[in-house]
Structure 1
Amino acid sequence: MTAALENDHARKNYHARMQRVLDHIDRHLDDDLGLDALSGVAAFSKYHFHRQFMSTFGVSVHRYVQLARMKRASYRLAYRDAQSVTDIAMDAGYDAPDAFARAFRQRFRQSPSSFRKSPDWEPWLAAFGPFDDARSKLMQTTFTADDVTIRDVPTTRVGIMEHRGDPATLGATIQRFIAWRKAAGLHPGTSPTFNVWRSERRPASPADYSNDLCAGTDRPIEAHGEQIKAGEIPGGRCAVLRVIGNTHNLEPAALYLYRDWLPVSGEEARDFPIYCQRLSLFPEVPEHEAVAELFLPLK
Structure 2
Amino acid sequence: MPPFNIPIQYRQQYLNRIEMAMTFIDHNLTSDLDLASVAQAANFSPYHFHRIFSALTGETPQDYISRLRVERAANMLVKSPALSITEIAFACGYSSSSVFSRSFKKTFGVPASRYARTAPAELSGERKAVNPHLPRQDNFVLPEIRIIRAAPLHLAYFSARKGYSEASTKAVWQKLFQWAQARQLLTPATQLVAISFDDPEITPRNKCRYYACIPVPADLPLNSGAGFFDYPEHLCAVCRLRCDVAEFPAAYRAFYRNWLPDSGFIMADFPPYEVYYDAPDINPGSKYEFDLCVPISLF
TM-score (ref. length: structure 2): 0.50
Q: Distance in 2 between matches of 1:212 and 1:54?
A: 32
Deviation, 1:214, is 7.6
Deviation of residue 68 (structure 1)? 1.1
- In the TM superposition, what are the counterparts of 1:253-264 in structure 2 within 5 Å? 258-259=280-281, 262=282
Q: CA RMSD in A?
A: 4.8
Q: CA deviation at 1:275?
A: 3.0
Deviation, structure 1 residue 110: 1.7
Deviations 1:1-33 (A, max 9, x none): xxxxxx76x433222211111111111112121
Q: Give the secondary structure class of the aligned counterpart of 1:192.
A: strand
Distance 1:64 1:113, change over 3 A: same
What do the CA deviations read for 1:131-180 (whole angstroms, capped 9, x no partner)? Answer: xxx932998614238587657xxxxxxxxxxxxxxx959xxxxxxxxxxx
Map of 1:96 onto structure 2 = 96
User: What's the CA shift for 1:112?
Assistant: 0.8
Unaligned runs of 5+ in 1: 1-6, 152-166, 170-187, 203-208, 216-222, 227-244, 263-267, 285-299
Question: In structure 2, do the counterparts of structure 1 residues 59 and 112 end up closer, same or farther at CA, with 3 Å as the change threshold?
Answer: same
Residues 25-48 of structure 1: per-residue CA shift (max 9 Å, x gap): 111112121111111111111111
- Alignment-mate amino acid for residue 119 of structure 2: D
Residues 75, 168 of structure 1: alpha-carbon distance in 2 compared, 3 angstrom cutoff: closer
Higher radius of gyration, 1 or 2: 1
How many residues in Structure 1 have an aligned counterpart in Structure 2?
198
2:107 maps to 107
2:289 aligns with 275
Query: More helix by proportion, 1 or 2?
Result: 1
Whether the aligned pair in 2 keeps the contact of 1:195 and 1:214 (CA below 8 Å) is no
Indicate how the Cα distance of structure 1 residues 45 and 213 shifts in structure 2: closer, same or farther if over 3 A, else same: closer
Distance 1:246 1:192 in 2: 10
Deviations 1:196-225 (A, max 9, x none): 4346469xxxxxx9658787xxxxxxx99x
Indicate the residue corresponding to 2:161 in structure 1. 135
Q: Percent identity?
A: 21
- For structure 2, the 5+ residue unaligned runs are 1-7, 133-159, 190-199, 203-233, 263-270
Alignment-derived partner of residue 4 in structure 2? none
Which residue does the alignment assign to 1:60?
Answer: 60
| Runs ≥4 residues deviating over 6 A | 212-215, 245-248
Q: Does residue 1:36 correspond to 2:36, yes or no?
A: yes
Superposition TM-score, scaled by structure 1 size: 0.50
Pair 16,280 (structure 1): closer, same or farther in 2 beyond 3 Å: farther
